[in-house]
Amino acid sequence: MATILGGDITVVYFNDNRGKFLYWSGSSSGTRTMNEVYSAMATLLDESTTIDDGSCMSAETPTEYTIGKIDAGDNDPWYITFDCMEHITGGALQTSGWERSTGTNTGIVIAPVTASSNNIVDTDRGKDIVHADGDSGTLLEVIDTGGATDYIVIRPDSNEAANDFDSTSGNLTCNGHTAPQNAEATTGEMVWANLYSIGTIAGDTHIYLYQGIISDSTPSRARVYSWNDNTQDWWGDGHIDVCVALKDITDSTWSVIDDGYITALARKYGHEYDNFEVACSTTSGGRNPIPLATATDLNNTTGYKSITTTSVATDDFSVGDEIQGGTSGARAIITKIEGSDPTYTFHYYLIDDPLTDFQTAAETITNNDGTGSATKDGNAPADQGPALATWFTNNTFPTISVGNTTADIDDDGNDEYYGITVNCNSNPLTEVYEWLKYATRRGETTNDIDGLNAEQYIGAEVALSWTGTVTGTIAEGGDVTQATSGATGVIISYHNDSNGKKLLLRNVRGTFDTTHTITDNDNSGTVTPNDFATAFSPTKKSPLGTFAGGTFFGARGVLLTNYISADENSFILTPIEGGTKERPTAITLEITNLVGTDETTSTDDIVGVFRLTTSGGDINKAEYDCSGGESIGDTTIAVSSSIAQDVPGKTSGGVLMLVDDPAGTGTEYRLRYSSWSSSTFTLANIDITSADAGTNTTTIVESGAFTNAKRGDLVYNHDRSAVSYVTTVDSANQVTISPAISGQTTGDHIELNCVPIVTTSSDDLYVPLIHGYPTTSSMSSSIVYSSTIYFRAKVRNTRATTKIKPFSTDDSLTGSDKSIAVVRTEDKQVT
């Protein structure tokens, strides 16, 4: 036995019980270059007492090396521990002679054992190890992953079958310690690729790696962690220089993982993200540069957690400082400070690896960038910013969904194709963007995007299109492979209709072309993408879209829905087929000085803004002729002509008035719609097939049904053939209605916002510019301007304690925003 490099590496010779291996004996954070190891071993074996030992390593290039059986006639390969390789930088390593071949090569084997019953420890290395059925060898390393299975690395005593360690049960014994083997030992040659990052990255950025086949049917993609710790990798913050194993030791022949691809990501919250995917040599590993660049994201400044202090020893804390927990060890960057000494609330985001939060119990908080010292209270860290629903304007998180969808963003009458939908849920894009950054930050492993941990989601990379037909079945989520080119990918979205035939792919390997057939490996469908096969770079700074200069730029294939009217001209999208799409110029009509609170209140103003037939004319109640043919309970209404571009709520919804013929004299029904397209309105329908207990003539009870209900929603009771309207949304489980529906009771079939009559072509429909009950002191509508709109604004309130005289004013929209302040004159005569 000997040591090299100042004791950092211990060398166990073959005559030390057939050891012949290297293991790390330096500090836990120490490193040595591959050339240092090579040179030190060459020097160590260049002595009169060691010249009889086989050479340990060879150097093919200054950065590519081999370990194992180097000299002719050497029967047993040198071994280097997986743990030791976590301390090596500056070069790649491959093995020679590790793969066991019964009867011809002794090699190295790795036996899986049940971790919970494993008593063999790494310090037993170099000792004899035997299996209950007689296999014998020398223990080289114990890999304690922290998972359900540990791995015992063994040099068998011979190449005979009796030492294959091929049992699937029975105990291994070493130095009086035992471990139950649970599968046959594996063997193979190993390759370590050397990865090193370059470029400019923000301080405290932790680069992390992902490796593995990306497939819905083979979910082996995983974060690269230390061999002996399944919670973190083995390098620190900042640039990396590491060696990563390219083969799977759990496979019987140590197969190459994902053809040698490794993805490096740098996603420090509050900063622009970056990633890079490298294809490493599967034979030599190679020294592989990883170019990365990150910088402060000026549009992502809101922390997602907070703690509060109870005392301050030294008052020196500022936004941007790094704070650390004295007990928990948590490290974080302050984004906002509220309160004053001694009660500060620090908003922050976490750094370090693993990401560790402050503890619930009180602990000392120190400022690593200053002299500040304080004590936090005994409460758990609180969610803030994009981690807290009530931070959002609409008190609701945005959402991400994956799958084919279409939209006519530019209102040219032709739908575009998209594969990923970001539902803003009526929140401003500034908030949505911060949430998208939060949802894809390092550490986001509890939520996924298209089956992947969001921290590793990169986005779409290839769009395919065809003019022919699909044979068999192709489905979203399937893995595709192209003949001849060998290119592979995973389907994000699949469109196959008369207007568009397209695939959007993620995690692509190789290059697709327009001449060869692709096959869905999960569903056996085939098609040739003869129209186009376009590769493009994912959006690295933020995988679903970036935000700059007040504008959101969606990643290719990403659609925004339910954005607020004020943001109608604040985004640019790129559909699957390419090109950019923007909403036509929109103007905002706003009514201010209103009384509005929430959906549970019945005393707010009611606001209506209606189109006029001409300046000073009547309200236009014959704006559209119904096509007719709808039945009671239907959830769409069609009109006989295309819906005008300046009708509000194409994607965000609005209110329409259905006039049971003829216009001006018929019964009117108020219906809320969720969207419109072409000549059809889609209603914001809620269907209650059997009302819960507690339902009566003025109350409807149904668990969870009314999360999206609004005051003014039409109510139709199928069992009573009666119409009413929601006056208050009391909770997600209950609404109050008026007028009362006689006989209404538990078990009734009730719908909100459904067609309440059998429509005919003589029925009419008109769409108010604004119609409803405010939840704040203003209501607004975003309108795509095409020509002058004459309107009448009306506001009334006889329900509040302070009643007002009806407010009504005529005005017009002529291409710019319009704001009308309500004149509130108290009506003391209403009783």
Check whether the bond before 543 is cis (ω within 30° of 0).
no
Question: Which residues have C-beta within 8 Å of that of residue 412, sequence separation ≥ 6?
Answer: none
CA 394 distance to own-chain centroid: 21
Among 129-133, 410-414, 432-436, the minimum mean pLDDT is found in 410-414
Concatenated DSSP letters for 74-103?
--S--EE-HHHHTTEESSEEEEES-B-BTT
Q: 666 pLDDT band (50/70/90 cuts)?
A: confident
One-letter identity of residue 584: P
- Integer-rounded Cα radius of gyration of the chain: 34
Which region holds residue 37: left if phi is over 0, alpha if psi is between -120 and 50, else beta?
alpha
pLDDT exceeds cutoff 70 at 136: yes
* pLDDT tens sequence across 652-662: 899 999 999 85
What is the average per-residue pLDDT within 314-342?
98
pLDDT exceeds cutoff 80 at 216: no
CA pseudo-torsion sign 195, 199, 204, 205: negative
CA 285 distance to own-chain centroid: 31
Question: Is residue 89 within 8 Å of residue 193, measured between CB atoms?
Answer: no
- Say how far apart CA 765 and CA 771 lie, in whole Å: 14
Share of the chain above pLDDT 90, in %: 93
What is the average per-residue pLDDT within 442-463?
93
| CATH code of the domain made up of 686-752 | 2.40.30.20
What is the average per-residue pLDDT within 408-426?
94
- The SS3 call for residue 387 is helix
Domain edges within the chain:
2-96, 109-180, 191-291, 305-383, 460-535, 686-752
The 3 state secondary structure assigned to 415-446 is: CEEEEEEEECCCCCHHHHHHHHHHHCCCCCCC
Question: Which residues have C-beta within 8 Å of that of residue 545, sequence separation ≥ 6?
Answer: 422, 433, 436, 539, 552, 553, 554, 555, 558
What integer pLDDT is reported at residue 503 of this predicted model? 98
Nearest to 201 by CA among 292, 277, 290: 292
Return the higher-pLDDT residue of 48 and 518. Answer: 518
Which region holds residue 545: left if phi is over 0, alpha if psi is between -120 and 50, else beta?
left
Nearest to 85 by CA among 220, 190, 231: 190
Question: Which residues have C-beta within 8 Å of that of residue 37, sequence separation ≥ 6?
Answer: 4, 5, 9, 22, 57, 88
What integer pLDDT is reported at residue 29 of this predicted model? 96
Nearest to 13 by CA among 45, 59, 48: 45
Question: Which residues have C-beta within 8 Å of that of residue 259, sequence separation ≥ 6?
Answer: 279, 282, 509
What integer pLDDT is reported at residue 217 of this predicted model? 42
Q: 214 pLDDT band (50/70/90 cuts)?
A: low
* pLDDT tens sequence across 58-84: 999 999 999 999 999 999 999 999 999
Element at 191 (helix H, strand E): strand 191-198
pLDDT exceeds cutoff 60 at 389: yes
* pLDDT tens sequence across 784-810: 999 999 999 999 999 999 999 999 999
Nearest to 581 by CA among 563, 567, 569: 569
CA 418 distance to own-chain centroid: 17
Q: Point out which residues pair with 553 in neighbouring strands.
A: 546, 572
What is the average per-residue pLDDT within 711-715?
98
pLDDT exceeds cutoff 80 at 821: yes
What is the average per-residue pLDDT within 247-252?
91
What integer pLDDT is reported at residue 252 of this predicted model? 86
- Spatial strand order of the sheet with 488-497 comes to 526-527, 518-520, 479-482, 488-497, 500-509, 460-465, 532-535
pLDDT exceeds cutoff 90 at 48: no
Q: 538 pLDDT band (50/70/90 cuts)?
A: very high
Element at 43 (helix H, strand E): helix 34-44
- Say how far apart CA 216 and CA 291 lie, in whole Å: 29
* Residues in the chain, total: 831
Alpha helices in 560-705 (DSSP H): none
What integer pLDDT is reported at residue 74 of this predicted model? 94
The structure tokens listed for 459 are 């986005």
What integer pLDDT is reported at residue 219 of this predicted model? 46
- For β-strands 624-625 and 764-766, DSSP reports them as antiparallel
C-alpha pair distances (Å), 693 with each of 701, 715, 724, 725: 7, 18, 19, 20
pLDDT exceeds cutoff 70 at 220: no
CA pseudo-torsion sign 735, 739, 744, 748: negative
Question: Is residue 612 within 8 Å of residue 794, measured between CB atoms?
Answer: no
pLDDT exceeds cutoff 90 at 463: yes
The CA-based angle 656-658-662, given to 5 degrees, is 140
What integer pLDDT is reported at residue 661 of this predicted model? 81
* pLDDT tens sequence across 166-180: 999 999 999 999 999
The structure tokens listed for 753 are 């916002």
- Say how far apart CA 74 and CA 183 lie, in whole Å: 30
- For β-strands 750-752 and 714-717, DSSP reports them as antiparallel
One-letter identity of residue 569: N
Question: Is residue 582 within 8 Å of residue 410, measured between CB atoms?
Answer: yes
State in Å, rounded, how far the first CA of the chain is from the last one. 102
Q: Which pTM value belongs to this model? A: 0.84
Burial letters for 60-69: b for 16+ Cβ neighbours within 10 Å, e otherwise?
eeebbbbbbb
